[in-house]
A and B are shown apart, each in its own frame.
Chain A
Amino acid sequence: MTLVASFDWNFIWEHIPDFWTGLKATLKVAAIGIGGSLAIGIVLGAARAHRIPVLNWVAAVYVEVIRNTPILVQIFFIAGGLTQIPGHPIRLEPFTIAWLSVMIWGGAYNTENFRAGFEAVPWRYREAGLALGFSRIATFANVTLPIGARIALPSSINTYVSVLKNTSLLTAIGFAELTDTAYSLESQSFKPSEVYLALGATYLLVVWTLSALVRLVERRLAIPEAR
């Protein structure tokens, strides 16, 4: 009961601007990461599904490496490992590191989502497209992509939500997104329950809103015959 009594609502109220600043950074990085992973997913997913030589194998290795290593290590590798390559250091801006790392992660998962989606498009549909005189690329754009992307939608939505949640790990390199802002705030105010309950509530609000929104889109985009 003392928990409730000693809970400092005023403190949260006073620091709403801080949370808002952090949230904006989170949403910005997540938006770029989600957009990028959508593009990667379509291109590499198509390469995998259509067995395009070389690109198919490169994509396969990329997917396995990213999905079988922790994203936190990937972030440190990009932020701290690449700068120490003997001879050819690669130095990136913190913001670049931020969106790049979540995009690379999301792209790998999305490649799998879209590969499965494209492969689930019945062969006869593509045959019909080719028979109508469409080129292979036009067939992909007009037949495989619209149907396959819809099949891939539920699993790719999970990936987008994960991309958003993964931005919290950028705290580890001091990128000032939502979790980092809260962590810094707590380290100077010593109010862990206020700070972290507010942080958790903010994430749930964003994640649940995002899920509800995409579910709405999903329902509108769902393939008619699957209804």
Chain B
Amino acid sequence: MKRITIVVAALVLAAAAFAAWGTAAPGGKVAALAGPTAAPKKPAKPKLPALPSDVKKRKKWLIGVKCDFAPFGFIDVRGNNDGYDVQVARRFATLAFGSKKKVDFTCVTTPSRIPTLMSRRVDIIVSTLTWTQARSEQIDFSIPYYSATGRLLVPNSSAVRIGSLGGKTIVTTRGAIYATWTSNCFKNSTLLQVDSPALAVAAVKDGRADTFMFDDAFLLGVATQDRDLRLTGDKFLNVPWGIGIRKGDTATARWVNAALRYMKKKDEFVKILKANAPARLVGDFLDNVPRPKNNFAYPVGKDVASICP
């Protein structure tokens, strides 16, 4: 009996120690550690509207970002968040609090990002969020901060094109605009939905799907990297991305939009793009970022996901 008591005590102690260690461990929260920053330090602070009161009180942003979507939101070799979206979020921390560390990141997936925002776990989501009519009824969008185009990734030997998708299996990420578009417009195709873009690439490589329909920036990176895969010439669903904000959270919307307008005026998005896209691909994407003379608009009133080619 005594020995058993000792075993119990040891187990409880071990559990408690793990719990305490976990809470104290730096790895528990994705800390905003050193990472390449694209945005230069501006000596003069821009005039921005007042921060939302809870963000101001907390003295840092809580932002949902992708962790599986290079080069927008991913985990770098040292285990830190990085990418285009992450650096936009870090720029918000600098603009709000003067330090790029004043932000805690939460990893979100395509299907979990809107629920994560709506349940108040984060202040905003900067997570490759394409504007759609259905989403804009659930949450508010900031002004656009990127514009993506849909492309098809296929094996080199494949003859699949946008016009010949009947009977084929199309893979994309769950909750992506391409999933809705496929179920609306390609009723003769099979739709396979997975939780991360990498799993979708694997599905094409392993023959479980004929093509991966997705954002150009991600696919171009894959196609240049992988000698067995290529992009078809088709381009579709050119719709800008916005930052997701809870419905009616006007204070946050006002601040975020002012910050984005400021970054656009200073042409900061190009610098962030250059810091994240491979040098030889930057040229292809210069038109995808907001610039002083490069404006985007959401297709408000049009349900793009049900307009078929």
Contacts and interface: CB of A to CB of B under 8 A. Distances in A.
B295 interface: no
B213 to A, nearest CB: 14
A122 interface: no
A188 B202 contact: no
A200 to B, nearest CB: 16
Most chain B CB within a 10 A radius of its CB, from A80, A183, A190: A190
Contacts of B208: 91, 93-94
A187 interface: yes
Contact of B179 (A80, A94, A172, A184): A184
Contact of B203 (A174, A190, A192): A174
B205 A83 contact: yes
Interface in B100-115: 110-111, 114-115
A93 B176 CA distance: 24
Contacts of B171: 174
A174 B203 CA distance: 10
A190 B171 CA distance: 21
Most chain B CB within a 10 A radius of its CB, from A83, A93, A174: A174
Contact of B207 (A79, A91, A192): A91
Contacts of A94: 192, 208
Nearest to A83: B206
Given A180-B193, A188-B180, A80 B175 contact: no
B115 to A, nearest CB: 6
A186 interface: yes
Contacts of A186: 111, 115
B111 A80 contact: no
Nearest to B115: A192
A192 B203 CA distance: 27
A174 B192 contact: yes
Nearest to A84: B202
A174 B118 CA distance: 24
Contacts of A190: 114-115, 118, 134, 138
B190 to A, nearest CB: 9
A115 B22 CA distance: 40
Interface string B137-174: 01000000000000000000000000000000001001
Most chain A CB within a 10 A radius of its CB, from B118, B203, B206, B207: B206
B30 interface: no
A91 B206 contact: yes
B12 to A, nearest CB: 23
Interface string A83-104: 1000001010110000000000
Contacts of B192: 94, 174, 176
A172 B138 CA distance: 26
A174 B194 contact: yes
Contacts of B199: 80, 173-174
B175 A184 contact: yes
B267 interface: no
Contacts, number: 52
B174 A184 contact: yes
Contacts of B180: 188
A94 B207 CA distance: 10
A187 B176 CA distance: 8
A93 B118 CA distance: 37
Contacts of B118: 190
Nearest to A190: B138
Interface in B194-222: 194-195, 199, 202-203, 205-208
Contacts of A184: 111, 174-175, 179, 193
Given A83-B205, A83-B206, A183-B111, A188 B134 contact: yes
A93 B207 CA distance: 8
B174 A183 contact: yes
Contacts of A183: 111, 174
B71 to A, nearest CB: 22
A187 B111 contact: yes
B202 A80 contact: yes
Nearest to A189: B134
B167 to A, nearest CB: 16
A91 B206 CA distance: 6
Contacts of A91: 206-208
A186 B207 CA distance: 27
B193 A174 contact: yes
Given A80-B202, A184-B174, 8 more contacts: A79-B202, A93-B208, A172-B195, A174-B171, A174-B174, A174-B193, A183-B111, A187-B175
9 contacts: A91-B207, A173-B199, A174-B171, A174-B199, A176-B193, A184-B111, A187-B175, A188-B180, A190-B134
Interface of A: 79-80, 83, 89, 91, 93-94, 172-174, 176, 180, 183-184, 186-188, 190, 192
